[in-house]
């Protein structure tokens, strides 16, 4: 028998004896006292001491489902119901040998839980099955839980259950959706259309994976920019696992970008925000403020640092009116410690404020040694966009000193070297146009001179995503009457051969017809004939292409024609491409 409710760390004594109840009446129950009851003598006395650690129950906190290629199941947790006063040793056991896990884990004194990792030993053999995990410890009720391992090839992939869209001015829209389970292996693509049931075009140049916390919610985010105010945009999101397996598109969400209420807003731009200098030199940062919407207020500029004294900072203008530029001069003391120093540039108006961080890297080369630095104007760009590779040789060298830029392209082990020459103050800038999508490795070097040793910079990484494309829609004739046969032409830039193009026809009665099964020629163009009906009024033709592995797709401005007006020829409003894929 089990006796509950005893105190901890106390000795209890126990005896036992037998009791015989003679039953003379069938209606008599066993517990009714009978004068003929016979009691045996007590057994020898025994004692037992209760323990201070008694685990009433163990619990698991495990993911219910994981995918086969994850290899490691993170954040597995075992915990106990009561706060403990000493270490508790937990034994673990699984039902299949392909799972790796610690045989024992310890819940430390004063804690109620501990973490451990579960691994998949051979993810090529395990396939889809259920793993049953058991945890046990002395004086406790064991815990049993299961994890379903899903073979990735068979696993369903779901789009985000709910997406959200909001406008914050600046011709931008913020798209968010909750982080899904297994998100370490998931990326997302964002699609946009001008109508709810229209043609959706992917608009993100890079796979989206940037979980952050907004208002207490852990979400992914994507900004769509340079949109047209008071125009309805529709968005959908697709989930991608391991860059291979894709879900369907999510349910659509719409948003109408609105201008900033009130005074509008502005942008703060700093050119070359990272500079390398030796002690005693001056750093010069070019600062621009650019109005957005209808902003026209004065802006107060300032600079601050947790380390550098503000007396070292000098702004040519502290109060500016957009659009304008000014300079921040920073004097580097001769006795300063060599390291990176952060400076915060603040811009404040009556309605809004912005800040940017600049960095000064102070170095002390040994006598006769030199340093060369390399930084990028942007760490990520779209295909066919240029990026500036900037740097400096320290100590200063003469103008037109030769140096070298070394670039290793994606999926290549070969370094391509470009011979260049320094500019003023030993600085250099090399503009590069990446032609492939992927990760570029970049460094710079110089051969030294009679006084300074050769040196090479650290490698930096440039990520290149899909480039921006445009598409144009036009017609070949001006004199258009109802019931005419017209020729339509769509052109993709940059030129893309063999790409599918669609043209949506919106008729005067608002009915829609799609022209499909067209593919571009070597000039990136398609041509097709279309028979107008006798309907008078506005006909609209909009061209689309979905994009490919190199370029984001695009939608043209509508080509609008009005056949049969009294001027003797149709009024034509030509369609055109839209920069940055704006609908």
Query: Could you tell me which of 89, 84, 81 has the C-alpha nearest to residue 52?
Result: 84
pLDDT in tens, the chain (583 residues): 777 667 666 788 888 888 776 655 555 554 555 666 777 888 888 888 766 555 556 766 666 666 555 555 555 667 665 555 677 788 888 877 777 778 888 887 777 777 777 777 665 556 667 777 788 877 777 788 777 766 656 667 889 988 999 987 778 899 999 887 656 678 999 999 999 998 999 999 999 987 888 777 888 999 998 888 889 999 999 999 878 888 999 999 999 998 776 767 888 999 889 888 887 888 889 999 998 877 888 999 999 998 888 889 999 999 998 889 999 999 988 888 889 999 999 999 988 889 999 999 998 888 888 989 898 988 999 998 999 999 999 888 999 999 999 999 998 999 999 999 999 888 899 999 999 999 999 999 999 999 999 999 999 999 999 999 999 999 987 788 999 999 999 999 999 999 999 999 999 999 999 999 999 999 999 999 999 999 888 999 999 999 999 999 999 999 999 887 644 444 555 444 333 333 3
- CA–CA separation, 230 vs 546, rounded Å? 25
pLDDT score for 491: 97
In 3-state terms the chain splits into helix, strand, coil percentages (rounded to 5) of 5, 50, 50
Under 8 Å between Cβ of 238 and 163 = no
Using an 8 Å Cβ cutoff, are 467 and 551 in contact? yes
| Cβ 539 vs Cβ 532: under 8 Å | yes
**Residue 154, φ and ψ in degrees, nearest 5:** -105, -10
Tell me what pLDDT residue 302 has.
Answer: 94
* Sequence-separated (6 or more) residues with CB below 8 Å from residue 152: 67, 68, 69, 241, 242, 245
8 A C-beta contact, residue 399 and residue 424: yes
> What CA–CA distance (Å, rounded) separates 457 from 445?
6
Residues 6+ apart with CB under 8 A from 230: 256, 257, 258
Q: Which residues of 489-499 are buried (b: 16+ CB within 10 A; e: fewer)?
A: bbbbeeebeeb
Q: What is the DSSP string of 3-61?
A: --SPPTT-EEEE----EE----STT--TTS--TT-EEPPP---EEEE--S----BEEEE
Q: What is the CATH number of domain 58-150?
A: 2.60.40.10
- Residue whose token pair is 């529709």: 234
Look up the CATH number of domain 164-255.
2.60.40.10
d(CA 583, CA 223) in angstroms, rounded, equals 15
Query: What does the alpha-carbon distance between residue 362 and residue 340 come to, in Å, rounded to a whole number?
Result: 6
Q: How far is CA 95 from the centre of its chain?
A: 37
pLDDT for the residue 154: 61
pLDDT value of residue 417:
97
Q: Are the C-beta atoms of 152 and 68 separated by less than 8 Å?
A: yes
Six-digit token string for 282: 């001056």
| Token duo for residue 18 | 């037998």
CATH of domain 371-465: 2.60.40.1930
Determine the pLDDT at residue 99.
Answer: 76
Tokens 């056949």 belong to which residue? Answer: 563
Tokens of 71: 């290899």
Give the Cα separation of 429 and 78 in Å (integer): 56
Find out whether 109 and 87 touch, Cβ atoms under 8 Å. Answer: yes
In three-state secondary structure terms, 164 is strand
Nearest CA to 515 among 498, 529, 525, 534?
529
- Tokens (6 digits) for 347: 């811009």
Tell me which residue has tokens 């919610």.
217
What distance in Å separates the CA atoms of residue 273 and residue 8, rounded to the nearest whole number? 65
> Are the C-beta atoms of 557 and 581 separated by less than 8 Å?
no
Q: Nearest Cα to 276, choosing from 170, 375, 412? A: 375
Q: For the chain, give every domain's residue range.
A: 58-150, 164-255, 265-363, 371-465, 470-581
Rounded to an integer, what distance in angstroms lies between the CA atom of residue 298 and that of residue 577? 36
Fold of 470-581: Immunoglobulin-like (2.60.40)
Question: For residue 146, what are its two tokens?
Answer: 């299961």
Q: Give the CATH H-level superfamily of domain 265-363.
A: Immunoglobulins (2.60.40.10)
């Amino acid at each position: 028998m089990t006796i509950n409710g005893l105190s901890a760390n106390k000795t209890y004594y126990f005896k036992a004896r037998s009791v015989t109840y003679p039953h003379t009446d069938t209606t008599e129950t066993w517990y009714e006292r009978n004068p003929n009851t016979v009691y045996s003598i007590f057994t020898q006395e025994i004692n037992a001491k209760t323990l201070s650690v008694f685990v009433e129950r163990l619990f698991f906190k495990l993911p219910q489902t994981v995918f086969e290629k994850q290899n490691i199941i993170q954040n597995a947790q075992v915990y106990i119901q009561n706060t403990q006063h000493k270490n508790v040793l937990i034994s673990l056991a699984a039902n299949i040998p392909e799972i790796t896990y610690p045989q024992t884990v310890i819940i430390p004194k004063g804690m109620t839980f501990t973490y451990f990792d579960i691994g998949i030993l051979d993810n090529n053999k395990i396939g889809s099955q259920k793993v049953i995990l058991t945890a046990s410890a002395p004086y406790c009720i064991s815990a049993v839980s299961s994890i379903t391992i899903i073979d990735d090839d068979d696993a369903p992939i779901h789009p985000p259950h709910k997406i959200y869209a909001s406008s914050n001015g600046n011709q931008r829209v913020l798209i968010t959706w909750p982080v899904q389970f297994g998100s370490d292996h998931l990326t997302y693509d964002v699609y946009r259309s001008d109508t709810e049931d229209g043609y959706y075009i992917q608009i993100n140049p890079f796979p989206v994976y940037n979980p952050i916390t907004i208002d207490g919610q852990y979400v992914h985010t994507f900004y769509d920019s340079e949109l047209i105010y008071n125009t309805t945009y529709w968005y959908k999101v697709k989930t991608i696992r391991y860059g291979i397996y894709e879900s369907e598109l999510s349910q659509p969400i719409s948003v109408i970008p609105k201008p900033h209420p009130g005074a509008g807003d502005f942008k703060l731009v700093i050119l070359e925000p990272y500079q390398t200098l030796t002690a005693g030199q001056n750093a010069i940062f070019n600062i621009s403020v650019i109005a957005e919407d209808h902003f026209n207020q004065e802006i107060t500029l300032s600079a601050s640092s947790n380390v550098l004294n503000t007396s070292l900072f000098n702004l040519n203008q502290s109060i500016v009116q957009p659009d304008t530029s000014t300079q921040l001069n920073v004097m580097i003391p001769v006795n300063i410690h060599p390291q990176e120093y952060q400076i915060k540039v603040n811009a404040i108006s009556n309605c809004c404020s912005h800040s940017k961080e600049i960095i000064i890297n102070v170095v002390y080369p040994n006598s006769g040694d030199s340093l060369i630095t390399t930084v990028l104007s942007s760490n990520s760009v779209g295909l066919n966009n240029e990026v500036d590779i900037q740097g400096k040789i320290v100590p200063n060298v003469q103008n037109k000193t030769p140096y070298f830029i070394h670039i290793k392209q994606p999926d290549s082990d070969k370094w391509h070297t470009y011979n260049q020459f320094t500019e003023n103050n030993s600085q250099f800038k090399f503009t590069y146009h990446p032609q492939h999508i992927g990760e570029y490795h970049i460094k710079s070097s110089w051969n030294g001179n009679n006084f300074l040793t050769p040196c090479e910079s650290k490698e930096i990484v440039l990520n290149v995503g899909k480039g921006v494309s445009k598409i144009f829609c036009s017609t070949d004739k001006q004199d258009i009457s109802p019931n005419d046969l017209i020729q339509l032409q769509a052109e993709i830039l940059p030129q893309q051969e063999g790409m599918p193009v669609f043209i949506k026809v919106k008729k005067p009665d608002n009915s829609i017809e799609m022209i499909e099964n067209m593919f571009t020629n070597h000039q990136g163009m398609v041509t097709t004939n279309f028979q107008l009906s006798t309907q008078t009024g506005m006909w609209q033709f909009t061209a689309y292409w979905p994009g490919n592995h190199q370029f984001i797709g695009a939608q043209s401005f509508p080509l609008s024609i009005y056949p049969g007006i009294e001027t003797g020829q149709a009024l034509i409003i030509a369609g055109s491409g839209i920069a940055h894929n704006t609908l």
